[in-house]
Amino acid sequence: MTPEARAERVIRDAIVRHGGRVAVACSFGGPSGMALLDLVQRIDRTLPVYYIDTGLLFPETYALVARAGRRYGIAPVALQPALTVAEQDARYGAALWERDPDACCALRKVAPHRAFLRGYGAWLTAIRRDQSATRAEIEPVADDGAGLVKVSPLFDWSEADVWAYVNAHDVPVNPLLADGYPSLGCIPCTRRASADDQRAGRWTGFAKTECGLHHAPAGRAS
């Protein structure tokens, strides 16, 4: 079975298992999320697609949200933090990400994500085993640590598999990937880096490698 066929089966199984109460996470940053988005659109165009709009994303990322929306005829849902960046600055001090990125991610990413997922049974994400040591043992279906099932259809795809899919299906990708960014998130926490390490360039200077959405232990959910 090809990686694409395996991923499709994982997605279809999740939809059946959760009666359609499945949402699709897409950061509009890396190529994996765009491959997953395209794959899902071939299977079920009614699943809600969402991204976490921290208010600090690159203009190219917002442009890709709009482009993908036109391409697939969807309206990705922008999950927004309770506080604007200015309000967060006023309450916690300017540039919280420079002093405590975990707290900043908790406020700007994790909290709106958990709030949005209430009522869903599962969410799809494009994380892969080969992206980092912390993702090396992820399973296609796992407990997300917060009561839902996290489904990772591309869990065993390689970077080459992703680009082969993107090129074969003419999937739109973030133009910054061709400008030295192997991984894209918020502007203050993203740097150009070697493409050898797909998570390099994120939270430079900190031990942090994840934003908090993918900290749950791997393992199959019951």
Q: Point out which residues bind ligand SF4 (CB under 6 A).
A: 54, 56, 97, 101, 104-105, 108-109, 185-186, 188-189, 211
Alpha carbons 105 and 110: distance in angstroms, whole number: 6
Residue whose entry in the numeric block shows the structure tokens 């880096």:
193
Strand 77-79: give its sheet, edge to edge. 77-79, 49-52, 22-25, 122-124, 149-151, 141-143
Taking the complex as a whole, the smallest distance from the CB of residue 68 to ligand SF4 amounts, in Å, to: 21
Nearer to ligand SF4, 65 or 74 (CB): 65
Taking the complex as a whole, the smallest distance from the CB of residue 157 to ligand SF4 amounts, in Å, to: 24
Question: Residue with the closest Cβ to ligand SF4?
Answer: 186
Q: Which of 26, 104, 186, 211 is catalytic?
A: 211
Alpha carbons 38 and 205: distance in angstroms, whole number: 34
On whether the CB atoms of residues 146 and 116 are closer than 8 A, the answer is: no
Nearer to ligand SF4, 56 or 216 (CB): 56
Alpha carbons 215 and 86: distance in angstroms, whole number: 28
Taking the complex as a whole, the smallest distance from the CB of residue 29 to ligand SF4 amounts, in Å, to: 11
Alpha carbons 114 and 112: distance in angstroms, whole number: 6
On whether the CB atoms of residues 31 and 160 are closer than 8 A, the answer is: no
The two tokens of residue 85 are 């960046």
Nearer to ligand SF4, 63 or 103 (CB): 103
Nearer to ligand SF4, 97 or 157 (CB): 97
Catalytic (active site) residue 26: no
The two tokens of residue 219 are 């393992």
| N-term to C-term CA, the chain | 25
Taking the complex as a whole, the smallest distance from the CB of residue 75 to ligand SF4 amounts, in Å, to: 23
Taking the complex as a whole, the smallest distance from the CB of residue 104 to ligand SF4 amounts, in Å, to: 3
Catalytic residues: 211
